[in-house]
Amino acid sequence: MDIVGYAAAATMIMAALICVLYLFRGRRCSRNPLFTEYPIFGMLTHVLFNLWRAHDYSTLVLKRHGGTGEFIGPWFTNMNYLVTIDPSNLHHMLSKRFHNYVKGPQFREILQAFGDGIFTADSEPWKYNRDLFHSLFKRKSFEVFLEKTIHSKVRSSLIPVLDSLHQQGSVVDLQDVFNRFTFDNICSIVLGNDPNCLSVDFPDVAIEKAFNQAEECIFFRHVVPKCVWKLQKLLQIGQEKKMTQACKTLDQFIHACIASKREDLSKYKENEKAEADDHVDLLTSLMREETHEDKFLRDAVFNLFVAGRDTITSALTWFFWLVATNPLVEAKILEEMKDKFGNMNEKSSLGVLNVEEVKKLVYLHGAICESLRLFPPVPFETKQALEADVLPSGHVVNSGTNILFLLYAMGRIEEIWGEDCFEFKPERWISQKGGIVFVPSYKFIAFNAGPRTCLGKDLAFIQMKMVAAFILNNYHVQVVKGFVAAPSLSIVLLMKDGLKVKITKREK
């Protein structure tokens, strides 16, 4: 037999082997498949071709499959997921059978930059982190410190920047403004140090850019086979090169802050209450609680930064886009503030409400909830099953099964929110008696559910309402004509091209 004959025979054998493997995989794995599975590439081609509209596309696909289905990744990549947006399944996994569904080693490897912090930890390390942060967040001194920090940042930075933009009449990326504002805030709250990213000259800050880059690279790890990003990491090319550079910048910054804080604390006597009250940032509090190694502190700081910076930026950006494009909602928010407080500008804090005052703004709270329903800052979550189980939807879960649930899609389910689920309608959150309507956390999933419910939920609402009330009371935000808002591809749901607006002072 000549070379051509050998090649033809080899090709036929290979094709037959692929067909056998394909049929075998189909019998084992394709229970309610979300897409057509192709040999070798699995279902990944569908995702890659629709990556530009990933969130909306996944919503449509899951609705066609009753809310739950299987995604089969490329062969031999362990990218297989049971994907669900069924609230009963989430309630089962996040609450009823919480201990059976963990983050898992695969998740920790993808989110390597988070270290062993609260977002990636399981079991006892997670419980220790949660109990520690819970004790810090619930202190009255911390709430006072948070309020003081926000008031100070609004007066020193936000007002000058917004006034300058009004005077210039120029277009600005409001998401960038919020990004800088929340970055300065989280630096002050966690580290006790304000880097002044938000100023009229909009300076470049390497550490702020490094956080954005790291999050985009982490999303990349979610959508390509592990072997691809592992090879890129080994060769230091593509996204993994950017990841390495971003993490190096972040670690240098965080470790420098830890060293500086240790030096500062060595100058104070722990039993002097006045000094303790002056240093209630979270890093100081962590160091005073007990002796922690630098790695623990580094991971804690990184996780707190992601939790308190990008999520608030995302929430405020989508909220202002929705309000700016729904003038009736804006009018109702302004009317509520006027009814509750009259002329807010007569306040000594330049119209910035305090913690107790923002709790009275029911309609504003409903508008923020509605924004979070449609655009949750964290658009997807993953879990891994420790033991075999059966979900309420009837789907069988084997030990080691990876589960993906899509928060973005859940806000667009008619069975939960009604036929008007795509509308921005704050009224759905307000009862006939004028209070906030309670929605179970496994349906309104923006702050997670069960034992892992976000510890900073109340603090997040306080920050968002303080900032939103101040800006809406003093300025009018107008979206630039022709601007199209689109979600970014990242682990945090930011706007792809920012939020382009013009800022004008509101006439009183």
**Residue 160 confidence (pLDDT):** 94
Residue 22 confidence class, pLDDT cut points 50, 70, 90: very low
**Residue 313 confidence (pLDDT):** 95
> Of 139-143, 224-228, 234-238, 347-351, which one has max mean pLDDT?
234-238
- Sorted by sequence, the CB contacts under 8 Å of residue 113 that are 6+ apart come out as 214, 218, 243, 246, 247, 250, 302
- Looking at the predicted structure, is the pLDDT value of residue 166 above 60? yes
- Looking at the predicted structure, is the pLDDT value of residue 9 above 60? no
Q: Which fold has domain 128-505?
A: Cytochrome p450 (1.10.630)
- DSSP-derived 3-state class of residue 192: coil
- Token digits of residue 307: 């939790």
- Residue 323's alpha-carbon distances to 6, 58, 329, 370, 479, in angstroms, are 68, 26, 6, 11, 10
For residues 334 and 280, which has the higher predicted lDDT (pLDDT)?
A: 334
Enter the pTM of the model.
0.87
**Residue 279 confidence (pLDDT):** 56
DSSP string, 122-144: -HHHHHHHHHHHHHHHT-HHHHH
Mean pLDDT of the residues in the chain: 86
**Residue 408 confidence (pLDDT):** 95
Which has the closest alpha carbon to 134: 376, 457, 462?
457
The region of weakest confidence among 237-241, 266-270, 347-351, 375-379 is: 347-351
Q: Is 247 annotated as a binding residue?
A: no
- Looking at the predicted structure, is the pLDDT value of residue 274 above 60? no
Query: Tens of pLDDT along 368-421?
Result: 999 999 999 999 999 999 999 999 999 999 999 999 999 999 999 999 999 999
The region of weakest confidence among 19-23, 118-122, 154-158, 270-274 is: 19-23
C-alpha 83/C-alpha 5 separation (Å) is 45
Which has the closest alpha carbon to 177: 195, 163, 197?
197
